[in-house]
Amino acid sequence: MNHSETQSLEYWVSDLVITDADVEQIYNHFLEAEKPQLAGQISEVIINYRVSEERNRIKQLLTGRTLYQPVAGYEVGDELVFPALRFAAGTVQSVREGYDPSYGKYDVVAVEIDAKTREFASNLAGEHKLNIENGDGYDPFEDVDLDDIRARYGASVTKVVVDALSEKDEFVRVEGKWFVKDLMADVNIGHLHLAEAVLDMNEGGPLRTEEIIVHLDLDEGLDNEVRIFSLNYALSEDNRFDEVGPPGNIDWFLRKAEPDAVHIVPERLRYTPHAFDRDQLTPQLLLLERELDDEWSDLEPPQSAQPTILALTYPHRRAGTLPLSSRNRPLFPIGASRRQRVILIDEQTEEEIVAWVVREGRYIYGLSEWYSNHSIPVGGFITLKPGPESGRVLIDFDRRRPKREWVRLATIEDNQLKFELERRSVGCGYDDLLIVGTDFVGAVDSLARRLGANNKTLTSILIGIFPTLAKLNPQETVHTKTLYSAINMIRRVPPGPLFAELIKHPALQPVGDHYWQYDASRPK
């Protein structure tokens, strides 16, 4: 029975460590292939090498030794190999008689293995699973299926390989492929200056590597894949260039030609993490948090890209952005780049909107003009759908005939945000609990800056806003979603911390259906 180490789950999943010998095999593989390799291809090299090495080791171990089988007889001094013990080897120290009602008389041999003595049956009559037919010609790897090993453990081996190569300076990675520095094309500063000039002439980009390389004089004696890999690596190491293509594509852009909002998070989107006790939130509030789908809520995203509808919030309306939230994140798969250029296609007009996905800031920039042209309000419903190809997403809004609606409009009085209801023309379906607006955008921005500079707490902002919103309702109650929308005009905060503040403040009392009332008789 084959119990070789390379046939076990533990060997590949929990025990595997890349050794210097493995690295040498990988290096030699690159010398033979002379091309960049995927991590999965490199893991196959390791699997093949490890199985081959074990086969050779066991063959050497079997040379001059006897394969242990219970049916055979042994004498003191015989050297045995035990396949069931992962091919441990030992020497027979003594032989004695034994008896078992199931087998009758047999011999017991004491064998020293790794300085310990263990006993085994010999001259055992009858069938036994450890007996091996034609033991002299035994090949423990005769039935080994390398394809099966790769299928079972390839992913685990690949992860270990990637971690190991990442620590080796001689190996470099570009978009999932690896290569050896010594085998790469020489890309010098002159080539990089020329690449910058090519992108400059093309409005900053984006250009595929293949479109840039034709203008450079790289070593024609090298394989084109090596030349492209080498240029990609050199561009990635130079901060003048950004790789902005969707996963699977490599597109280059000049960083200086990118919008400022791609590098500096727009003021109204800046969020300073606010500690809170998540266990305080009720199941109903957790459901509401999922409905709002704020990009800073860290909710579990869907498994695949799906059509999604979101209600636009004030910070994103003000900044001309979309949230990179849990529901729409699969629509914008991001590779290793911190920024990605995408095309949003208006589903009705087929207008193409150049937008930028900013991973760290969790937003998609480039929609100010589209919002303004269509007068999309805060709270307006926006639809996103998978596009015809990677890097292209369909966008639309709930188009309706313009109608005058009651809207909460904010003004600034005594350093406080105040709200009144006024009629405004709205030509977009919207969430009436989220809709807010202002005719004094600059004043609202200034107030937000002052509150931030003065370190105003979330609690003080909440209590300052609540009364002016409550007076808009005959019951003097305010919905949780309305508080979320209003507060985000002057302080960027996701639902979780806000909900926790509502729960713990003694003067704020829930009255059902996510509405709250302010009880001035309670301590503040």
Reply yes or no on whether the pLDDT at 142 is more than 70.
Answer: no
Rounded mean pLDDT of 440-449? 94
CA distance linking residue 343 with residue 76, whole number of Å? 80
What pLDDT does 399 receive? 93
Contact 170, 213 (CB under 8 A): no
Reply yes or no on whether the pLDDT at 66 is more than 90.
Answer: no
Which DSSP letter does residue 486 get? H
Mean pLDDT over all residues of the chain? 90
CA distance linking residue 284 with residue 281, whole number of Å? 8
Reply yes or no on whether the pLDDT at 143 is more than 50.
Answer: yes
Q: How many CA atoms lie within 13 A of 302 on its CB side?
A: 14
Contact 313, 291 (CB under 8 A): no
What pLDDT does 480 receive? 97
Reply yes or no on whether the pLDDT at 439 is more than 70.
Answer: yes
SS3 per-residue string spanning 346-377: ECCCCCEEEEEEECCCCEEECCHHHHHHCCCC
Reply yes or no on whether the pLDDT at 128 is more than 80.
Answer: no
- The CA radius of gyration of the chain, in Å to the nearest whole number, is 34
What pLDDT does 134 receive? 40
Contact 331, 309 (CB under 8 A): no
Contact 501, 458 (CB under 8 A): yes
Categorize the per-residue pLDDT at 106 as very low, low, confident or very high, splitting at 50, 70 and 90: confident
CA distance linking residue 144 with residue 453, whole number of Å? 68
Q: Percentage of the chain with pLDDT > 90?
A: 65
Q: Percentage of the chain with pLDDT > 70?
A: 95
Rounded mean pLDDT of 330-351? 90
What pLDDT does 69 receive? 81
Categorize the per-residue pLDDT at 490 as very low, low, confident or very high, splitting at 50, 70 and 90: very high
Reply yes or no on whether the pLDDT at 313 is more than 50.
Answer: yes
Contact 417, 489 (CB under 8 A): yes
Categorize the per-residue pLDDT at 82 as very low, low, confident or very high, splitting at 50, 70 and 90: confident
What pLDDT does 269 receive? 96
Counting every residue written for the chain, the total comes to 524
Reply yes or no on whether the pLDDT at 404 is more than 80.
Answer: yes
Unique residue bearing structure tokens 């042209």: 373
Q: Which of 31-40, 102-111, 132-141, 353-362 has the lowest mean pLDDT?
A: 132-141
Rounded to two decimals, what is the model's pTM? 0.80
The helix/strand/coil state of 238 is coil
